[in-house]
């Protein structure tokens, strides 16, 4: 009887942690798809005379050039790039009550400096459901 009680307590503790882990792994797919867009934005910023300010949304580039297309997957609804290089990765079917939306904001001091990224998640999602880099 004591063994059953101990096992029940361990399951009660381990099950929520495992569920958070699986949700975080599914959201990680959005992080991986956003990496491709981050590369495209950084390349466009290096080519634009106005750095990040010249990066256009959708078709990435200054005037013309780089194009980023991210098709949806089972766990990623979309990855979009807006003017200035901001990237929004929307997850879906993760098992979370509110599927996390990750926003990557680039910054660059001068055109010759590397692009640095800041990742944030929407306030409606639990911090334990997003990768550590976005908490």
Domain of 120? Answer: 2-134
Beta bridge partners of 106: 117
Rg (CA), the chain: 19
In the predicted structure, residue 115 carries a pLDDT above the cut 50: yes
Asked if 76 and 16 count as a contact pair (C-beta separation under 8 A), the reply is no
Dump pLDDT digits (tens) for 63-99: 544 446 566 789 999 888 887 888 999 999 999 999 9
CATH number, domain of 60, equals: 3.30.700.10
Percent residues over pLDDT 90 in the chain: 41
Average pLDDT rounded to a whole number, residues 39-48 = 81
Q: Rounding to the nearest 10 degrees, give the CA dihedral for residues 63, 70, 28, 118.
A: 10
pLDDT at 109: 82
Say how far apart CA 103 and CA 121 lie, in whole Å. Answer: 6
Q: Which of 26-40, 53-67, 120-134 has the lowest mean pLDDT?
A: 53-67
Say how far apart CA 71 and CA 53 lie, in whole Å. Answer: 26
Number of structural domains (the chain) is 1
* pTM metric for this prediction: 0.83
Dump pLDDT digits (tens) for 12-23: 888 888 899 999
pLDDT at 95: 92
- What SS3 class is residue 8? helix
Quick one: which H or E segment has residue 27? helix 2-47
**In whole numbers, what is the pLDDT of the chain averaged over residues?**
84
The half-sphere exposure of 66 on its side-chain side, counting CA atoms within 13 A, is 23
CA 10 to chain centre: 32
CA 113 to chain centre: 23
């Amino acid at each position: 009887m004591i063994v059953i009680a101990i096992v029940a307590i361990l399951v009660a503790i381990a099950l929520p942690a495992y569920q958070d882990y699986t949700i975080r792994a599914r959201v990680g797919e959005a992080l991986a798809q956003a990496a491709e867009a981050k590369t495209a934005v950084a390349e466009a910023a290096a080519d634009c005379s106005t750095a990040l300010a010249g990066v256009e949304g959708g078709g990435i580039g200054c005037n013309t050039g780089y194009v980023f297309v991210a098709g949806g997957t089972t766990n990623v609804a979309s990855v979009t790039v807006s003017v200035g290089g901001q990237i929004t990765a929307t997850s879906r079917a993760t098992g979370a009550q509110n599927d996390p939306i990750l926003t990557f904001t680039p910054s660059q001091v001068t055109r010759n400096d590397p692009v640095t990224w800041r990742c944030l998640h929407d306030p409606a999602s639990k911090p334990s459901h997003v990768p550590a880099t976005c908490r």
